[in-house]
Amino acid sequence: MTEPALLPDVRLRPAATPPPRDPRPGVSGLGGADVARLVAELGEPPFRGHQVADAVWRSGAAAWDDVTTLARPLRAALAERLRFDTIVGTTSRPADGGTTEKALHRLSDGRLVESVLMRYPGRADRRERNTLCLSSQAGCAVGCPFCATGELGFERDLEVAEIVDQARHARRRLAGDGRHLTNVVFMGMGEPLLNLDAVIAAAAALTDPERFGLGARHVTLSTSGVVPGIERLARLRPQWTLAISLHAARDPLRDLLVPLNRRWPVADVVAAAGAYARATGRRVSYEYVMIDGINDTPADADAVARLLGGSGAHVNCIPMNPVAHTPWQASPPGRVAAFAERLGAAGIGVTVRRNRGQEVGAACGQLAAEQAGEPPAPSVARRRERLVVESAAALQAARSGEAPPPDVRRARRGPGSR
């Protein structure tokens, strides 16, 4: 089945007057029992429910009309009640020589959300992996200043099917190349644990052998630190990986980089994550976006080591993606390597991740922000100035008595200095 919505020249524009949201639920948000009940209500035998499930989860169909195993009147009756696909249009941009594909999806009410498909070819020591980073909300209320989605603000929570359908789209795209989706990470637009009912239902659908069928350990839920959500997950004991967006280990700086920290301080987040690790037996990973001169000093690394030492956690160091509304840049590669080395020397498991898809706006929310239109230059300038002032204050509070890293000292002394 071809993917009709994936035309590279399609440009998604925000509608001037957003259409009303389609009230019909998406079929991929329903469990098998719900589908069976609906099929029975329509006077159909139970095997029709299996045919619907096959069409939704195992075929390349993109619309009810493609499901030719069902008679036309039944397709019409289902279409009256359920959407086959909650994504009404997609435009995509390939990057990294075709190994990364960033997709911008339009929903029924005109909201735009992003997903990123990253292909990791197989090697002698590793099987091929195809990972989808998907969105759980349109926009985000958390407002991390290095994030393009945070700049957009919160629009709304996604429905279960709107989350799952991003994965169904990726599966169809990969199937065209004879490939499979192997991993899903909830690290796109939104804070997943602020839409937790839908995220749990979506992760359950993705890992249900009767539905999407991914292994539970191949799904990662990411959070910037919603402690009650982490505690709820710990009680559920899934085998999903939990990833914490850390970005700073000291509260004054983390208050700036992850504003949710003012509500749930970093020590509480790490304690809740530790409870999740004990309840599930799963190692927690910590994401650390590295920002030049902001959170990348040896003292920052030492603070991370103190915070996570002995927890068995793993840290992923990720150079920041450039985002227009901040005055910040990614830490230089040498500093990222030195930071990782210092964590490793302190006994913390660490990986340096490279950014994917920078030439197509890799930062979460960047494509949606582009489509929403550039904010006026004076407001961007004001925001950058405010961040400079706030980061100076946060750094002063976090770093009293701490020496800057050697390369920053050299830069301050001028070129050629040692």
Q: Write down the least CB distance from residue 187 to ligand SF4, Å.
A: 8
Give me the count of residues in the chain: 418
Torsion of CA 198, 200, 201, 204, to 10 degrees: 150
Q: Which of helix, strand or coil describes residue 81? A: helix
Q: What is the largest CA-CA distance in the chain?
A: 82
Does residue 359 have an active-site annotation? no
Q: How far is the CB of 367 from ligand SF4 (least distance, A)?
A: 13
Contacts of 411 (CB under 8 A, 6+ apart): none
Q: For ligand SF4, which is the closer residue by CB, 213 or 327?
A: 327
In the sheet with 112-120, reading across from the earlier edge strand, the strands are: 87-95, 100-107, 112-120, 129-133, 183-186, 219-223, 241-245, 285-290, 314-319, 349-352
* Rounded least distance, CB 330 to ligand SF4, Å: 15
The residue annotated as part of the active site, out of 133, 144, 317, 364, is: 364
Q: How far apart are CA 370 and CA 239, in angstroms?
A: 36
In the complex, which residues of this chain contact ligand SF4 (CB under 6 A)? 140, 142-144, 147, 149-150, 189-191, 224, 364
Nearer to ligand SF4 (CB atom), residue 51 or residue 136: 136
Q: For the chain, state the CA radius of gyration.
A: 23
Give whichever of 213 and 259 is closer to ligand SF4, judged by the CB atom: 259
Helix (H, G, I), strand (E, B) or coil at 83: strand
Q: Is 114 a catalytic residue?
A: yes
Active-site option among 114, 155, 159, 162? 114
Tell me how far, at minimum, the Cβ of 222 lies from ligand SF4, in Å.
8
Indicate the residue among 360 and 408 with the shorter CB distance to ligand SF4. 360
Closest contact distance (angstroms) between CB of 388 and ligand SF4 is 19
Q: Which residues are catalytic?
A: 114, 364
